[in-house]
Structure 1
Amino acid sequence: MNKKLSAAVLTIAATLALTGCADAAGNTGSGTDFPQRGKSIDLVVAFASGGAVDTAARLVQPILEEELGTNVEVINKPGAGGQIGYTELTSSKPDGYTIGATGSPSVVVSPLDESRGATYTRESFQPLGRQVIDPAVIAVQPDSPYKTLAELLDAAKADPKGMTASTTGLQGGEHFALAQIEEATGAAFAPVHFSEGASQATTAFLGKHVDVLVGNVSDVTDLVKQGKTRVLGVMTTERAPSLPDVPTFEEEGFEVEAGTVRGYSAPAGLPDDVAAKLEAALKKAIEDPEVVQKMEDLGLQTDYLSAQDYSDFWTQQEADFKKVLPLVQETN
């Protein structure tokens, strides 16, 4: 090989090597090739199938698949009030191939209480977007002697802890709602925790294994249509569009606001480009008109927040829940 040819070969080789290094570096922290063809994305739901969290995830699933160009598989990991699923999510590699539905208070509070033994912290999650705020409600059997919220609360004050009330797990949204009711009104219920989620709690209520159903608007909308429950109050300042005849706690003279906030997150540490792709796909899915309509049919009003705004909201919630956590711990 002559000297000119040898020099040319060396130049080409060096160029290819540098290009390869640049590509490798870009692929390590870049979403340009995300998701890889044929590699599916797991969407972890920390509650059992059939509940509001699971239903919302399955509504956005097909649009995520369309936007990302790969399969998205909803995987239910129920138990411990969401803690099992959140552990699964935060233990996963932050490469974009595992994301999860995150709902507060459960995801916010579980790492705050040392007795829960959570292996994750607030910093273990990377929020991707908020989907909805689902106001809390309190309901009784359709043949219950209690026709109004005031009648039910008076009975609970007269016989503290004499009536059982469902929650979707220790320190979940319903548990906090019960503590807020007790603080604001003096009415004390005995919480019964169903750690697998709303479906398990609702089944127990329909089987008359608990006296009172504390849930969210989305949990009871169909039950009301079917005549299977009587909702006495919504814990928000405005009536729920899907329950227009049900008064708010504020209308009844009680300052109680509670509910569940639901969104999507990933394990912390996603490459920026991957995070951007996931956020954009989730925004498209959450705000899709058909998804929004189906959510409304469930009694849910879409209230999207971007990844950054959802993160800021999460931080504020953490500060708020720290203040009332001792009260919830007293009512375990």
Structure 2
Amino acid sequence: MTAALAAAAIFGGTGAVQAETPAEFYQGKAIKWIVPYKPGGGYDEYSRIIAPFLEKYTGARVDIVNMPGAGGMKGANEIFNAPDDGLTIGIINGSAMVTNEIAGIAGAKYKVADYNFLGRVVADQRVLIVSTQSGLNSFEDLLASDEPVLLGATGLGGSTYVDAVVVGLVMGNNQKVIHGFNSSSDVRQALLRGDIQGMWGSLGSALNGIEAGDMKVITHDANKGIPQAPDVPSVFEHAANTDNPARSYEILATWDALSAVGRPVATSPGVPEDRVAFLQKAFSEAMNDPEFVTIAEDTQRDISFLDGNSMKLIARASTQMKPEVKEIFVAAIRGEI
């Protein structure tokens, strides 16, 4: 090959290198999608119904990889510390990752605000459910219990754990939190077996058990109520009966703000901006695809999509707590409450 031909091959005869577009980069590649919990839970189910549509809009194959451990932190670390090529993404337990970070939990090898967010799948509606065989018919029954009520949770720092201990502290619940389950689905199985009496979790994950008559909601975080339990008061209503309602409201409002972080999808820091923008656009198209929306409705999976840039702002804001409130959350996350 002559020097002129070689130059033409390299520069395409234009005098400038032809850059590979993100669409060209992703075409035919494999994207690894990390799920920080084992198969069968809500995070896994969301991931598996989104994946085909992300394939549609990226041109890549999406491989779901379950990576449970440390209340979702193992998977979050894997996403954050992945190579910066944009081929590793994943769904994150946003509120749990924020609380782990502010508490300085050992093993949290990420900074929430530094993820490249593709967007948010859903902002979790938090509910306290009990087994219909538990003997508890209302939150008042829990408050009046002479024996500690057994609540199940995932690992320290996980949202099911933080929900239980923070609300328990505010309300003065007589409870014992059994933690260390690998996923919320494991906690629900323990609930159905009668090993525990209740658990905090997302409404979406609890719907099947509620509709089957195996579980019931006894309180929640929705000021305007929830359709599945319209007559059940929220924790904010119960807080009016505490010794210091103003303090209770302030703690609960901070706790509720963590739910707004929800379940975001992200890739690692350092991914080229054009690839991040391409993934954000593909994720937005996937989440708004009419067929996907229908599948989510049919599988009773709530969707409250938020774009990547808006998600980044919420993630940053969620770490800003008053020092006295932060102390409570740090203590809760570390298992000191």
* Closer/same/farther in 2, CA of residues 108 and 19 from structure 1, 3 Å limit: farther
Q: 2:55 aligns with which of 41, 58, 65?
A: 65
* Closer/same/farther in 2, CA of residues 118 and 105 from structure 1, 3 Å limit: same
SS at match of 2:24: coil
Aligned amino acid, residue 200 of structure 1: D
The equivalences for 1:82-97 within 5 A come to 82-97=72-87
1:311 Cα deviation after fit: 0.3
Aligned amino acid, residue 325 of structure 1: F
Q: 1:34 aligns with which of 25, 34, 43?
A: 25
Identity %: 25
Q: 1:141 aligns with which of 106, 127, 131?
A: 131
Q: Distance in 1 between matches of 2:67 and 2:236?
A: 36
Aligned amino acid, residue 236 of structure 2: E
Aligned amino acid, residue 148 of structure 1: S
Q: 1:227 aligns with which of 213, 226, 229?
A: 213
Counterpart position of 1:325: 329
Counterpart position of 2:118: 128
Q: Which runs of 4+ in 1 moved over 6 A?
A: none
Q: Distance in 2 between matches of 1:108 and 1:204?
A: 27
Deviation sequence 1:117-161 (CA, Å, 0-9, x none)? 222223552111011111111122213322211121232xx55xx
SS at match of 2:151: strand
SS at match of 1:34: helix
Counterpart position of 2:311: 310
Matched, 1:74 2:60: no
* Closer/same/farther in 2, CA of residues 215 and 18 from structure 1, 3 Å limit: same
Counterpart position of 1:51: 41
Counterpart position of 1:3: none
1:170 Cα deviation after fit: 1.1
1:100 Cα deviation after fit: 0.5
SS at match of 2:196: coil
Aligned amino acid, residue 98 of structure 1: T
Aligned amino acid, residue 285 of structure 2: K
Q: Distance in 1 between matches of 2:174 and 2:293?
A: 36
The equivalences for 1:172-321 within 5 A come to 172-244=158-230, 246-252=232-238, 255=249, 256=252, 258=256, 259=259, 261-296=262-297, 300-320=301-321
Gaps of 5+ in 2: 241-248
Deviation sequence 1:269-327 (CA, Å, 0-9, x none)? 11122111111111112223343344445555422211111000001112248454233
Deviation sequence 1:240-279 (CA, Å, 0-9, x none)? 3344454433345555464471110001111122111111
Pick which of 249-258 and 315-324 moved more. Answer: 249-258
Pick which of 197-206 and 181-190 moved more. Answer: 181-190
Q: Distance in 2 between matches of 1:118 and 1:265?
A: 16
1:331 Cα deviation after fit: 4.1
In the alignment, is the contact (CA less than 8 A) between 2:101 and 2:111 conserved in 1? yes
What TM-score, normalized to structure 1? 0.85
SS at match of 1:169: coil
Gaps of 5+ in 1: 1-8
In the alignment, is the contact (CA less than 8 A) between 1:165 and 1:191 conserved in 2? yes
Q: Give the structure with higher Rg (CA).
A: 1
1:82 Cα deviation after fit: 0.7
In the alignment, is the contact (CA less than 8 A) between 1:179 and 1:331 conserved in 2? no
Aligned amino acid, residue 177 of structure 2: P
In the alignment, is the contact (CA less than 8 A) between 1:168 and 1:198 conserved in 2? yes
Q: Distance in 1 between matches of 2:202 and 2:298?
A: 14
Q: 2:106 aligns with which of 81, 101, 116?
A: 116
In the alignment, is the contact (CA less than 8 A) between 1:104 and 1:172 conserved in 2? no
